[in-house]
Amino acid sequence: MSKNRGKQVTGTLYRTRDGSCSARLSLSAGRKIAVPLARKHGDPALMTALPVIAAYARELSTRGVLTPRQIAELLTVAASRMRDIDASIYAQKWAQVASQDTLSKLIPTAHAGATFREIAQLWTSGAIHAEHAEVPLVKLAHRDEGMFVKHVYDLVGNVPVTQMTKRQFSSVYHELGRKGLRDETRVYIWKLMYRVMQLAHDPLELLPSNPIPRGKKPAIEDHRRTPALLPEDDEQLLGCQSVSIHNRMLWGFLAREGMRRGEALKLQWCDVTAAVLNAFSQKTGKESARMWQHDTHAALVAYRERYCADAKPADYVFARAQHMSSVFRTALKHAGVFARRPELAMHSKERGERRQIRLHDLRRLFITLAVASDKSDAWIRTRTGHTSSRMIVHYTDLADMHRSRGRVTLVAMHVSIPELLTPLSGQYETAAE
């Protein structure tokens, strides 16, 4: 046992609603636990025993074998057994429990020795959600369980989660590569395995920490060529009045403000009336603020006057819809962009071939034109939400292409959309389907 036991109190006593007393104890690494002592608040024996209890809890924590929840359970059981002990010997009993150190074997954890397969099945079946409501249900449980059965269980399914290491994660990833799985599929399986290990850490508390650091997933190497949109494509698309104006407003906004789609869909009308455009990124967890682009702000004001006059300040500016990239490609075809540039409609999953154009390519167009216009990295990152300049380097080659063509800017948004230039007719379109 530690020689410092009893010399330093690392806990406090407080009264609970039922009049009893509980101890709030500090463990190693800044963790704290609450232990009900099953005695009335104000009992003088508690103050005498508190240093012993606190020192024993810290010693159990520094060993790194038991989780904070297990330590709290052990101390709670010991306290309940000593609820009727005379106050004169209460502290001595606690000292005896600490010196004998038999408490750590009193309560086995419910999932001790569980394998990776068992924890994964607890997750996909919803059993963890039933026990811990803070863990959300798996949206595609059948698909994820199929991934585990087909690709993971044969490799590490019988390995106890306490023995899983980063090297085993990497071996699974490379083995799936030898089987011919695409990089996207392998990274998705990596994320599933990471989630299982995270659940083993919290809330199951089988591990002191996740052996895989957050964000350390393998990078996806997409060897397919990416189609590049041009300013003429944007002008032709926004000028096509047979395409819903509500969709064209969103697409024009993305190409001129550089936001991610999810950030733009959370934009409210009260944000439009503000002088500064604020955007919160769920990807980075940071909020960025910058001045509005003059043409996008003017377009949104005109759009509200004509089509959203009854909108409330808390209403969203852009309508939400499913399969937005598919709708975007259909609109490009309908506007005649694919007819003028057939290479945009071509795509293949084979290495070296073209990748299918996506709505996210509008953000790519914004960054490319900003680089071609010699905007600073800080100016671009303020609008895109990138935390470093590393991503911007990928757009240098396309920026040189735009410079050689002599067109590095987009037509003003309120000019590109013909409906915003016509006088008000008193007729308003309905929301986008």
pLDDT tens per residue, range 321-373: 878 888 999 999 999 999 998 888 876 655 445 567 888 888 888 988 988 88
Query: Is 328 within the bounds of a domain?
Result: yes
Amino acid identity of 124?
A: T
267 — pLDDT class (breaks 50, 70, 90): confident
**31-34 contact pairs (CB < 8 A, 24+):** 31/61, 31/68, 32/68, 33/57, 33/68, 33/69, 33/71, 33/72, 33/75, 34/72
Return the structure tokens found at 426. 């008193």
Query: Is 425 within the bounds of a domain?
Result: no
**Gap between the Cα atoms of 92 and 94, Å rounded:** 5
Residue 237, pLDDT > 90, answer yes
Average pLDDT of the segment spanning 88-103: 77
- For residue 343, what is the DSSP state? G
| Number of other CB atoms surrounding residue 81 within 10 Å | 13
pLDDT of residue 429: 39
- Does 294 lie in the same domain as 147? no
* 22 beta partners: 14, 36
pLDDT of residue 52: 86
- Axis crossing angle, helix 245-257 with helix 231-238, rounded to the nearest 10: 150
Query: Is 215 within the bounds of a domain?
Result: no
Rg of the chain over Cα atoms, rounded to whole angstroms, equals: 30
- Does 78 lie in the same domain as 197? no
Query: Is 2 within the bounds of a domain?
Result: no
- Does 121 lie in the same domain as 98? no
pLDDT of residue 422: 67
Q: Which of 47, 82, 105 is the last residue of a domain?
A: 105
Average pLDDT of the segment spanning 405-423: 85
- Does 254 lie in the same domain as 330? yes
Residue 376, pLDDT > 80, answer yes
Scored b (16 or more CB within 10 A) or e, 345-382 reads: bebeeeeeebbbbbbebbbbbbbbbbbbeeeeeeebbb
Name the region of 20 (left: φ>0; alpha: ψ -120 to 50; beta: rest).
Answer: beta
Q: Hey, is 84 helix, strand or coil?
A: coil
Cβ–Cβ under 8 Å, residues 390 and 380: no
- Does 377 lie in the same domain as 280? yes
Q: Mind listing the pLDDT tens digit for each residue in 271-306? A: 888 767 766 665 655 666 777 888 888 889 899 988
Q: Identify the sign of the CA torsion 29, 30, 36, 37.
A: positive
Query: Is 430 within the bounds of a domain?
Result: no
Query: Is 432 within the bounds of a domain?
Result: no
Q: Mind listing the pLDDT tens digit for each residue in 170-185? A: 888 888 888 888 777 8
pLDDT of residue 163: 83
Lowest mean pLDDT among 33-37, 80-84, 130-134: 130-134
Cβ–Cβ under 8 Å, residues 90 and 82: yes
- For residue 15, what is the DSSP state? E
239 — pLDDT class (breaks 50, 70, 90): very high
Average pLDDT of the segment spanning 384-398: 74
Query: Is 92 within the bounds of a domain?
Result: yes
Q: How large a percentage of the chain has pLDDT more than 70?
A: 80
Average pLDDT of the segment spanning 53-70: 76
Residue 92, pLDDT > 90, answer no
248 — pLDDT class (breaks 50, 70, 90): very high
Predicted TM-score of the model (pTM): 0.52
**Gap between the Cα atoms of 135 and 128, Å rounded:** 7
Number of domains in the chain: 3
pLDDT of residue 145: 84
Query: Is 401 within the bounds of a domain?
Result: yes
Q: Mind listing the pLDDT tens digit for each residue in 183-220? A: 778 888 888 888 888 888 888 777 777 877 776 666 55
- Does 413 lie in the same domain as 268? yes
Q: What is the separation of C-alpha 223 from the centre of its chain, rounded to a whole number of angstroms?
A: 26
- The mean predicted confidence, pLDDT, of the chain is 79
- For residue 220, what is the DSSP state? P
| Number of other CB atoms surrounding residue 265 within 10 Å | 16
Spatial neighbors of 370 by CB under 8 A, at least 6 apart, are 258, 379, 380, 383
Residue 48 or residue 74, greater confidence: 48
Q: Which is it for strands 276-280 and 11-15: parallel, antiparallel or unpaired?
A: unpaired
Domain extent for 403: 231-420
Q: Which of 105, 128, 145 is the last residue of a domain?
A: 105
Q: How large a percentage of the chain has pLDDT more than 90?
A: 8
